[in-house]
Structure 1
Amino acid sequence: MSPYRSNFFPKVTKQKIVLLVKRFIILSVAFFFLFLSLNVLFPLPDKIAYSTIIRDANGEIINAYLTPDDKWRMKTELNEISPLLRKTIVAKEDKYFYSHPGINLFAIGRAAFNNLLHMKRTSGASTITMQVARALEPRKRNLLTKLIETFRAFQLEWKYSKDEILQMYLNLVPYGSNIEGVKAASLLYFNKEPDHLSLAEITALSIIPNRPSSLVVGKSNNAITKERNRWLQKFADGGVFTKKEIEDAEAEPLTSVRRTVSHFIPHLAYKLRKQSESINIKTNVVLNTQLKIEKLTEDYVRGLKLKGIRNAAVVVIDNKTHKVISYVGSAGFTDTTDGGQVNGAAAVREPGSTLKPLLYGLCIDEGLLTPKMMLNDVPVNYAGYAPENYDKEFHGAVTTEYALEHSLNIPAVRGLKLLGKEKLIQKLVAADFKQIQKDQNKLGLSVILGGCGASLEELTGLFSAFANNGVYFSPQYLQDAKSKSVQLLSPEAAYLITDILSKVNRPDFPLNWTATEHMPKIAWKTGTSYGRRDAWSIGYNKAFTVGVWCGNFSGAGVPELSGANIATPLLFKIFNSIDYDSDEEWFAPPKGCELRQVCSETGLPPGPNCTNLISDYFIPLVSSTKVCGHLQEVKVSPDSSLSYCQACAPQTGYIKKLYKVFDPELQDYFRATGMPYQIIPPHNPQCERIFKGEGPNITFPVNGAEYFIDKKHPEPLQLIAAVPADVSKVYWYINERFYKAANKGEKQFFVPEEGAVKISCSDDKGRSKTIRINVRRIAL
C-alpha cells in the first residue's frame, strides 16, 4: 500500500477502539447521571386536573363538572382506548411511537432538511411523547422550548409506559373551545364513549387538533369531512386499513354538532363530588325512575305554591340492595323562588313525629309494651317538661297502637321515659344520625317529638330497617360502596310496628286523597315539625322505602303544612309510579311473634276478674307477663261508705265488691274533665296499720327546680300530688312544719320563703314523699 493511502486511512488499533468505547461509556454514564440530576431538580409537571363525571346505575354519564381551569377534560382510562383508536392515532401522529425513546432522530433530520430546502417551516418532528410534553407545559415555540420538550419527552419515557403516554396524549389533545381529550370530544360531539367511536369518527377527531380554530364540529363539517377523507386515503395508501374499511369510513356522513353536558341529579352529584376524591363517580341512581319522580315532585309542588309551600325533596331506597335509586333535592334546581339549589334531602331539620315508630319498637323489644297494652294520655310533668298533644286534647288510657296510629305525643314521651332516652339516642347514632350524634349529651325527652335535628336521607335510611327485619343498612349512594349493618330492632318488633303503620283507618290519612285514586299497599308514618315548617311522610313496602319532605327552605311556616295532608299524597303518587300493584307478598309474622289473650282494659294477660278478652301479639320470653289487676276485690261496709283491709275487716257485717283501679294521674284526669269513675270508699279510719307501697307523687312544684318570686308581689305556688285510689286525704308539710290537710284532688297554694324549701306530702295510709326546691326573690 502506498504511503499516501496509509496516511489517508490511519491505522485503527485495538487500543484506540477500546479507548473510544470507554469514552462513549463514560460520556453515556455522565449524560445519564446528568439526566437523573435534572429529573430531580426539574420534576415532570404531570399532575393533570380532570373533569369529575357522575354515572348512573347503568354506567351512563348523567352529570359532569369543569376542571379548575374551566376545561371539559374527561379522563380516558386505558381500557377505554380501543385497538382501533390506538391504531388510528399512532398511524396518523407517530407511526414509530412504540420504537423510539421519546424523540425520532430520523424525523428531526427530515424536518430540518425540508425546512432548510423551502426556507420555512413545512413539517414538524414532534412525536406523541413530545406533544404530551408540550401540552403539560405550554411555552412560546422556539429552539429553547424544543430542547425543553426533548428533555421532558425523555422524562415521560423514563416514568411511564408507552400505553400510559398514549393515554396522556388522548387526555390532553385539544379539540377546540374548552374541550380537551378524546373522551370529552367523543361525548360532546358524538354522544358516545371513546371505545365506541368508528374509524371515520376517530379520523375526524384526529385532524381537529391541527386546526382547532378553523375546523369546528357543527360549523365546518364539510371541511372536516374533506380533510378526514384525505387522511383515510393516506391510511389506504399505507396499508393501515383494508379497502373495505376505508370505503365504509368515507361513506359515513358527519352530521355532528356540539352537545351540552347532562346535568341530572344536581344535588346528589354535588354532594358526592364534595365527598369523593374520585373523578369517576358511579351512583346507583336509576335514571328513568329519577326522571319520573322529579316530574311528579315538580308538578305536585306547583299546585302547592298557592298555599305558600314552595319545595319538596324525595329519597328512594331499594330495600333488597340498599341502594339509593332516586334522589331529588328540591322541586326545581333552577327555581330561585325558594332556593332550588338547596339540598332539601340532606338539610338538617326538625323530624316531628317520625321517630316514634323506632321508640315503640324499642319498647316492645324491652318487654315494656305490646300493641294492645295501655298508656295514659293525660297531663304529665317531667321536671318541668309538660308535653302536649298535637290537638291540645287528652284521651285517657289508650293502647300502644292507638297512640302510634294517632301520633299522640304524651304517650310517646311516657314511653321514652320508660325506655330511657339514652337507648333511643344510641340507636339513632348507630343509624348514622349525624346531628343527633353531635347533640346527644344535651337532648332531652323532647327528642321523640322532634326536638332534635335529622335529614330526609337519615330518616329514609332508618325506615328501610323496618322493611329489613329491623336491620339498618346504611344507604348506598355509590356502586362500589359497602353498606354497614346494625340490628336496631328484633324482626318481631319490626313486624309489629309495620302492622300498625300499614292500617289505613288512621287520622293521618290524607283528606284530599279521593276514593278514585289508587291506595298503595305500604306502611307509612307522617310528621310535622313545630311551627308547621316541615312536613314529612316516609313509607315502605318490601321493595322500596320512600321519604318525602315538603316545606320552604326559607324556614317559613305555613298553617296548611302537615305531613298527612301535604307530604303523604306525594308519597302515594311516587309508590304508584314505581311499584303500582306490586305482586310482592306483604310482610309475614316472624316465628318469634305469637298471639295471646289479654284483657281489653289494660292489654295485660288476664287476671281472675277479667272477662273482656282480646287477641294481641307478643314476644315470648320478652313481653311482660304481669297479670292484669284492674279489677280489685274490696271488703266494704254494707252501705259502701267504708273499705276494710285484711287487718281491720270485721268478722261479719261486710260485703265484697269489685272496683276498677286507676292510676292516680288517671283519677286526676277524670276529676279535671268531670268524667265519672268508680271510687274505692275511704279506708276504715280506726285502722292503725301503716300501708306499704307508693305514697303520694308530688307533681308540682318540681323536685330540684329553682323558682323566682317577685319581691313586692309574691305569687303563691300550687301544691299538686297524685295519690292512689284508696287515698281520700293528704297532709302537706313545709320545711317539716305542718301546713294544711286537704281532700284528694283539692288544690292548695302557699307563698314560699326565700332559699331552700322542703315540701312533704303524706296520705291517710301513712305513706309520704318529700321534694326540695330553691326559691329566689327578685324585683320583676
Structure 2
Amino acid sequence: MTGPDAHRDATTPRPWARYLVLAGFSLFVLFCAATVQLTATIATISSALPPTPDLTSMPVSAAVTDRDGNLLRPFTTPDGNWRLPVSRDQVDPRFLDMLVAYEDRSFAEHDGIAWSSMLRAASQYVLAGGQVVSGGSTLTMQVARLLEGQPTRNAWGKLRQMVHASALEQDLDKDAILDLYLTLAPYGGNIEGIRAASLAYFGKEPARLTTAQAALLVALPQSPEARRPDRHPEAARAGRDKVLDRLVALGALPAEEALAAKLEPLPTMRRDFPMLAAHLAEQAVRARPDARTLPLTIDRRLQDALEQLAAARARLIDPRVSVAIVAADIESGEILASIGSAGLFATQSDGYVDMTTAIRSPGSTLKPLIYGLAFELGLAHPQSLIEDRPTAFGAYVPVNFDGFSRGTVSIHDALTLSLNIPAVVVLDAVGPARLVSRLRRAHADPRLPVDTAPSLAVGLGGVGISLRDLVSVYAAIAHGGVPVRLHDGTTPLPAPAIAAPVLDPVSAWYVADILADVPPPLNGSPGRVAYKTGTSYGYRDAWAIGFDGKTVVGVWAGRPDGAPLPGLSGITGAAPILFEAFDRLGSRRAALPRAPQGALLASTTELPAPLRRFRHPDSGLVARDAAPEIAFPGDGVAVDLGLAAGDISPLMVKVRNGVPPFTYFANGAPFGRPNFARQDSWQPDGPGYVTLSVVDAEGRGDTVRVLLN
C-alpha cells in the first residue's frame, strides 16, 4: 500500500464514520429534547383543558314534552341557541351508520386519533401545495373542537385538539362521545345538534330520516354556514350528493338508493319549532329552570286539535275575543289539554294572557253544585217542584236571564233552563258559606271581595274563579262527588290525603243526570255530554263546562281585558266549542255512568210527600204563598213619561210574589185582562197622581200611589 493511508492501521476509524456517529448522537439528543419539549407541551395543554363534560349538566334547550315524550315546546339556551337534548337512541340508526362511515370509519377502534387519516391528510396537503384536500379529524377530535370553540387550522390548534381528543377517550366511552357530537354539531345559524336541525329543516324528530335527509345532516356540520339549505341550496345539494357518492364508493350505500336520494328536494326554509301548550310550557320552565326535559301530562294530539279549534272559533266570534280550553281525565286529574288563549301571538285578543288561570265571574256555572247541596241535605229531589217567581231577599231581587218567570217548575227543569230565581231560593236554603266551602273541597279557590262574607250573589256569578278551578269542580261532580286534584306535571303533587267529599255519590249523580238533559247547541247530540253554560254580567264571560264518563272539558270565551261583548253568551259562544272539543277526544269518549245504589228514580207524584215540593227551611223568609207586591213603580215615586210635553207613553206595572193570574187596576178601574204575566202596561190620559193596584188568583193585593209627569 502506498500513499498517505499506507501506514494507517486497518482498525483506525475513518473521519466520515465519526461524523455519522456525531450526527446520530445529535439527532438522538434533538429527538430527546423534542420529546421532552413535546411532553411538556402536551402536559401544558392537558393542564389547560376544560373538564370532561357531563351531558346531564351541559347547557341545552329546555324541552317541554307531553305524556308520551313528544315535544311540545323547546326554549333556546341562555346564549340564544337551539340545542335540544338528544342521545343516539333517539336518532335514526341509518344516520349513525352514514355518519361514522363518512366521517370516521375507525371510530370504534382508535383512541381519539386516527394516525393513518392524519398522515393521509398531511400528504394530500403537501402535494396540493398547501391546500386542504381532506381532513384527518376523528369524531372525537371534532367533539374536542366543538367543546373548546377554538379554530384548529394551525399546528398548535390541531395539537391541542389531538390532546383533548385523547383525554376524552380516556374519560368517556364511545357512546357518550357520539352523544356529545349529536348534541353539539353545528347546522347553521343558531341550530346545534341533530335534533334541532331535523326539526328546523324537516319539521320532525330525527328518529326516522330518509336517506337524503340523513346525508344532508351528515354534510352540514362540515360547512354549516356555507351549506345552509335555506340560504345556499346549491351548496347544500352539492354537499349532500358528495356524501352519497362517497358512501357508494365505500360500499356503505347501494348506488340505486343514492340516485333516488339525489332526486329528493331539499328544504328551502327553516321551520318554526313546536309551540304547543305555550303558556303551560312557560310555567313548567319557571317552576324548574334547571331541568333539561320537562314532561307534562298533556296529550300532544289533543292539545294540537284543541288549539286549532280555539283559534278558529275565536276568529268567527270577534278578533278581540280569546278562547281558553281545559280538558282533564276525571279519574286521575291529569290535564290532557290546556289552551290559554286563541294564539300566543294574537295581539288583538291579548294572546299572551293565560285565561285558564284568570279570575273571572262564573255566571250560572255554579248552579249545579247549589242543587247538589239541596239533594244532599234532603231538601229536594230532581223532580221536586219549586216556584219560579219574583222573590225579594231584602234589597236583593234576582231576575231570570230573559226577564220572564215560569211559575211552578221542577228542580230538573229549573236547572236545565238555568232559571235564576229558583237557584237563589235554593242557595238561600243551603247557605252561601256552604257553597263556597264545597268549592274549596273541590280544590277550587273562589275569590270574594275583600272583607266580605259569601252572599246570595255568589250563586249567579258574584265570585271570582278560574276556568281551571271550574273544571276541577265539575270533575268532582263527574267523579261521584269525590274531589279530583287537577295536575299538569309542572309541579310535584302533594302527598295524598283523605279528602272530604264535595257531594255524596247519589247527589252528584242527580246533578249529572240533569245536566245530561240540557239541550245541546246545534252542533251537539243530546244525552252524550252532561254540561252547563254560564254568562257573566254584561256579557263579559261565556262559559261551558261538561263531562262524559271519562273526560271533563271546560271552555271560556270573552275579552281578556274584561270589556263586554254584547250578544256573547255561554250557549251561543262557548257551548259549540265544548261539543266540538268532545268530538275531538277520539278514543277517550265514554258513556255517562249509570245511577248508583240509593238513587230514587220517581216522578213528582211518586216522591215522598216532603220531597214533592221544595220548601225553604225558613218559610217566613221565602214563603210560597206570599202576597203579591207591585215591584214597579214604587209607592210615592214620580215617574217621568213625558206627559207634560204631550207624549203618550204607557206606564209599565211589574209584580212579584203572589199566585197568577193577576188583575191590574188604575184608579180602581181594571185595565188589560187577567193573565199569568207579571207585568202589564196602562195608558194614562195625562199627568197627575194615579193609584195602581194588583190582585192575584187568591184575592190578595197590593196598592201604590205614584205621580206621573
TM-score (norm 1): 0.63
| Correspondence 1:328-367 to 2 at 5 A | 328-367=339-378
| Cα distance in 1, alignment partners of residues 616 and 470 from structure 2 | 39
- Residue 205 of structure 2, aligned match among 173, 193, 211: 193
| Correspondence 1:643-658 to 2 at 5 A | none
Contact kept? 1:54, 1:283, Cα under 8 Å: no
Distance 1:548 1:668, change over 3 A: same
Query: Residue 215 of structure 2 aligns with which residue?
Result: 203
| Correspondence 1:685-724 to 2 at 5 A | none
Contact kept? 1:597, 1:606, Cα under 8 Å: no
Residues 660-697 of structure 1: per-residue CA shift (max 9 Å, x gap): x95354289425457379xxxxxxxxxxxxxxxxxxxx
Query: Residue 492 of structure 1 aligns with which residue?
Result: 506
- The offset of 1:139, in angstroms, is 2.6
SS in 1 for 2:532: strand
Distance 1:573 1:130, change over 3 A: closer
Determine whether 1:70 maps to 2:80: yes
- The offset of 1:534, in angstroms, is 1.0
| Cα distance in 2, alignment partners of residues 317 and 53 from structure 1 | 22
| Cα distance in 2, alignment partners of residues 224 and 598 from structure 1 | 79
Query: Residue 28 of structure 2 aligns with which residue?
Result: none
- The offset of 1:402, in angstroms, is 5.2
Query: Residue 658 of structure 2 aligns with which residue?
Result: 675
| Correspondence 1:433-452 to 2 at 5 A | 433-434=444-445, 436=447, 444-445=454-455, 446-452=457-463
| Cα distance in 2, alignment partners of residues 674 and 45 from structure 1 | 78
Query: Residue 541 of structure 1 aligns with which residue?
Result: 548
- Residue 316 of structure 1, aligned match among 319, 322, 327: 327
| Cα distance in 2, alignment partners of residues 64 and 396 from structure 1 | 58
Query: Residue 388 of structure 1 aligns with which residue?
Result: 398
| Cα distance in 2, alignment partners of residues 118 and 256 from structure 1 | 32
- Which residue identity is paired with 2:201? Y
Query: Residue 558 of structure 1 aligns with which residue?
Result: 565
- The offset of 1:69, in angstroms, is 3.2
- The offset of 1:397, in angstroms, is 8.4
Determine whether 1:666 maps to 2:649: no
Query: Residue 168 of structure 1 aligns with which residue?
Result: 180
Contact kept? 2:515, 2:530, Cα under 8 Å: yes
| Correspondence 1:396-415 to 2 at 5 A | 400-401=411-412, 403-407=414-418, 412=423
SS in 2 for 1:208: helix
- The offset of 1:211, in angstroms, is 2.1
Contact kept? 1:498, 1:523, Cα under 8 Å: yes
- The offset of 1:319, in angstroms, is 4.7
Residues 67-116 of structure 1: per-residue CA shift (max 9 Å, x gap): 44333333322312444333322232233333444445565566556656
- The offset of 1:295, in angstroms, is 5.3
Determine whether 1:606 maps to 2:609: yes
- The offset of 1:173, in angstroms, is 0.9
- Residue 317 of structure 2, aligned match among 278, 295, 304: 304
| Cα distance in 2, alignment partners of residues 157 and 417 from structure 1 | 77
Distance 1:74 1:564, change over 3 A: same
- Residue 251 of structure 1, aligned match among 260, 263, 266: 260
- The offset of 1:403, in angstroms, is 4.9
Residues 707-729 of structure 1: per-residue CA shift (max 9 Å, x gap): xxxxxxxxxxxxxxxxxxxxxxx
| Correspondence 1:51-70 to 2 at 5 A | 51-53=61-63, 61=71, 63-70=73-80
Determine whether 1:587 maps to 2:593: yes
- The offset of 1:596, in angstroms, is 6.7
- Which residue identity is paired with 1:95? R
- The offset of 1:598, in angstroms, is 7.3
SS in 1 for 2:627: helix
| Cα distance in 1, alignment partners of residues 616 and 559 from structure 2 | 51
Contact kept? 1:596, 1:615, Cα under 8 Å: no
Distance 1:290 1:237, change over 3 A: closer
Distance 1:550 1:558, change over 3 A: same
- The offset of 1:135, in angstroms, is 1.7
SS in 2 for 1:457: helix
Determine whether 1:467 maps to 2:473: no
| Correspondence 1:205-224 to 2 at 5 A | 205-217=217-229, 224=236
Query: Residue 429 of structure 1 aligns with which residue?
Result: 440
- The offset of 1:322, in angstroms, is 5.4
Q: Relative CO higher for 1 or 2, CA cutoff 8 Å, sep ≥ 6?
A: 2
| Cα distance in 2, alignment partners of residues 125 and 439 from structure 1 | 73
Contact kept? 2:52, 2:168, Cα under 8 Å: no
| Cα distance in 2, alignment partners of residues 578 and 249 from structure 1 | 42
Residues 701-752 of structure 1: per-residue CA shift (max 9 Å, x gap): xxxxxxxxxxxxxxxxxxxxxxxxxxxxxxxxxxxxxxxxxxxx99xxxxxx
| Cα distance in 2, alignment partners of residues 494 and 211 from structure 1 | 66
TM-score (norm 2): 0.68
Contact kept? 1:218, 1:255, Cα under 8 Å: no
Residues 380-425 of structure 1: per-residue CA shift (max 9 Å, x gap): 35xxx84634558888987644553454556656655655656544
| Cα distance in 2, alignment partners of residues 368 and 453 from structure 1 | 27
Contact kept? 2:323, 2:558, Cα under 8 Å: yes
| Cα distance in 2, alignment partners of residues 595 and 61 from structure 1 | 49
Query: Residue 107 of structure 2 aligns with which residue?
Result: 97
- Residue 379 of structure 1, aligned match among 363, 371, 392: 392
Contact kept? 1:520, 1:575, Cα under 8 Å: no
Aligned-residue RMSD, C-alpha: 5.0
- The offset of 1:615, in angstroms, is 10
| Cα distance in 2, alignment partners of residues 629 and 324 from structure 1 | 39
Structure 1 unpaired stretches of 5+: 10-23, 608-612, 617-627, 631-660, 678-744, 747-780
| Correspondence 1:631-650 to 2 at 5 A | none
Contact kept? 1:518, 1:576, Cα under 8 Å: no
SS in 2 for 1:135: helix
SS in 2 for 1:524: strand
- The offset of 1:501, in angstroms, is 2.0
Residues 437-481 of structure 1: per-residue CA shift (max 9 Å, x gap): x99996523444434332222322332333333334444646999
Q: Which moved more, 1:275-284 or 1:246-255?
A: 275-284
Residues 465-517 of structure 1: per-residue CA shift (max 9 Å, x gap): 3333333444464699989796533321111001222334xxxx68xx66x98
- The offset of 1:552, in angstroms, is 1.0
| Cα distance in 2, alignment partners of residues 205 and 664 from structure 1 | 79
Q: How many residue pairs are counted as aligned between the two chains? A: 593
| Cα distance in 2, alignment partners of residues 171 and 309 from structure 1 | 42
| Cα distance in 2, alignment partners of residues 231 and 565 from structure 1 | 59
- The offset of 1:186, in angstroms, is 2.6
| Cα distance in 1, alignment partners of residues 616 and 436 from structure 2 | 33
Contact kept? 2:325, 2:338, Cα under 8 Å: yes
- Which residue identity is paired with 1:171? T
Query: Residue 190 of structure 2 aligns with which residue?
Result: 178
Query: Residue 637 of structure 1 aligns with which residue?
Result: none
Residues 9-61 of structure 1: per-residue CA shift (max 9 Å, x gap): 9xxxxxxxxxxxxxx9xx99x9999999767x967597544334455677655
Distance 1:264 1:82, change over 3 A: closer
| Cα distance in 1, alignment partners of residues 564 and 616 from structure 2 | 47
- The offset of 1:166, in angstroms, is 0.8
| Cα distance in 1, alignment partners of residues 260 and 242 from structure 2 | 13
Residues 735-773 of structure 1: per-residue CA shift (max 9 Å, x gap): xxxxxxxxxx99xxxxxxxxxxxxxxxxxxxxxxxxxxx
- The offset of 1:174, in angstroms, is 1.2
| Cα distance in 1, alignment partners of residues 505 and 126 from structure 2 | 86
- Which residue identity is paired with 2:599? C
